[in-house]
Amino acid sequence: MGINIDKIRADFPILQRKVNDVPLIYLDNAATSQTPKQVIDTIANYYAKYNANIHRGVHTLSQEATELYEGARKNIQTYFNAKESHEIIFTSGTTHGINLVASGYASLLNKGEELIVSEIEHHSNIVPWQMLCEQTGAELKVIPMNINGELEMSAFDRLLNAKTRLVVVNHVSNALGTINPIKEIIKKAHAVNAKVLIDGAQAAPHIKADFQEIDVDFYTVSAHKMYGPTGVGFLYGKEELLNSLPPYQGGGEMIHEVTFEKTTYAELPHKFEAGTPNISGGIAFGATIDFIKGIGIDNIANHEKTLLEYATKSLLNIEGLHIYGNVANKTAVISFNIEGIHPYDLGNILDKLGIAVRTGHHCAQPIMSYYNIPGTVRASFAVYNTLSEIDTLVKGIQKAITLLK
């Protein structure tokens, strides 16, 4: 079954606006995807009808809001096939989820033990682990990449050993679109009794990870990458592993009993959800899952594959254009440069033409260092993008070249 692109685009109000007096072409989806009216309406509906704090109230509004919030948690659990709904911890986003686990491991790691990250990580999946190693005396090892933007799996095999406690890699590279072989990584890590955290921020809009099938230990997601609101995401963790971690923050909701002599903590998931959460965002995250299910993740993937193939072929016809991340197994992301033109200058002219792309190092400076470049122009596609928008992008680049060279 295909998709009705006109019907889908009609669900996104922002796509109707103009930028610099021309129709907006939004190709910055790897940074933040746009939000459909179904999700926007869910947020407005919460504040109009249910606005109350959750879990603690006996009155009707509180109980109704709680049911909606916990219903969203259950929806996420079912979609990603987590074993239990309390294994889904609501966070402010992927970075929050990663830092929660890193903070917890501070009490579990010993000097001389090892963590493994990869060279193609977002900074949010590098810096927390560097901080953890500085705090504990553990060592950080790095899986190198190759010229095509793939991980060197033979090097990963050599890095794994009995001292490896945790492996942290992204499911999909935000800068290159590379889809990593996470099932293989998880299986090999488990063979040496290491745990695995997967940064799923860039994968979730394009790939539905089955947590039971891949046997992942921790997996993190941000709603705003997958047509949802900003400021909300989740951390999945196996129940026994979440129970082994200490609380990340102290406050209301995460306690069982408080006295000045001793505080005991609540059961999962509340142990890690101190304070008043982003209630409307959590409920809207559930609506986001419904939106994706309504289209079908396979239909989304097939449409984006068509966009990627068309855009790659079209862009490579431009003289002097070089694409980084030349792998067959990737999502709809194209990072490129044009010889003699700084990516910022190209992005600035494209913006004047109403075309939104991302320029810079994309919070992935080790990748840029590997290629010895200051950054790239990144065009990233979503379900609402069209072939005609790619044609306009190509024309915009060609116009920019005439102005900049």
- The DSSP letter of residue 357 is -
Confidence of residue 405 (pLDDT cuts 50, 70, 90): confident
Structure confidence by residue, pLDDT tens digits, 197-237:
999 999 999 999 999 999 999 999 999 999 999 999 999 99
In 3D, which of 372, 281, 215, 316 has the Cα closest to residue 39? 281
64 is written with which tokens?
Answer: 């109704």
pLDDT digits (tens, 9 = 90+) for 83-95: 999 999 999 999 9
Q: List 358's β-bridge partners, or say none.
A: 378
The CATH number that domain 40-294 falls under is 3.40.640.10
**Is 238 in contact with 88 (CB distance < 8 Å)?**
no
Predicted confidence at residue 252, as pLDDT, reads: 74
* CB atoms near residue 374 (< 10 Å): 14
- Cα separation, 74 vs 95, in Å, equals 22
Q: Are 62 and 234 in contact (CB under 8 A)?
A: no
Residue ranges of the chain that CATH labels 3.90.1150.10? 5-30+297-404
CATH number of 5-30+297-404: 3.90.1150.10
Q: How far apart are CA 295 and CA 118, in angstroms?
A: 33
Instruction: Please say if 363 is a catalytic residue.
Output: yes
Catalytic residue among 363, 373, 394, 404: 363
The residues with which 380 forms a beta bridge, in sequence order, are 28, 333
**pLDDT tens digits along 159-178:** 999 999 999 999 999 999 99
Instruction: Give the tokens for residue 37.
Output: 């009216």
Q: What are phi and psi of 95, to 5 degrees?
A: -60, -45
Task: Kindly report, residue by residue over 238-274, the tens digit of the pLDDT.
Answer: 999 999 999 988 877 777 777 787 777 778 999 999 8
Query: Mean of the pLDDT values across residues 29-57?
Result: 96
- Which position has the token pair 């921020």? 201
How much is the mean pLDDT over the chain?
A: 96
Here the tokens at position 350 are 């494209």
Statement: residue 288 has pLDDT above 80:
yes
Q: Give CA–CA dist 82/370, Å, rounded.
A: 36
Q: Where are the alpha helices (DSSP H) in 196-342?
A: 211-214, 239-244, 279-295, 297-315
As annotated, the residues of the chain forming the CATH 3.40.640.10 domain(s) are 40-294
Q: Which amino acid is at 387?
A: L
Percent of the chain with pLDDT over 90: 93
Residues 6+ apart with CB under 8 A from 76: 82, 88, 234, 285, 286, 289
pLDDT of residue 265: 74
Residue 1 pLDDT greater than 70, yes or no: no
pLDDT band at 315; cut points 50, 70, 90: very high
**pLDDT reported for residue 256:** 76
Spell out the alpha helix ranges (H) of 296-363: 297-315, 343-352
**Mean pLDDT for the stretch of residues 364-388:** 98
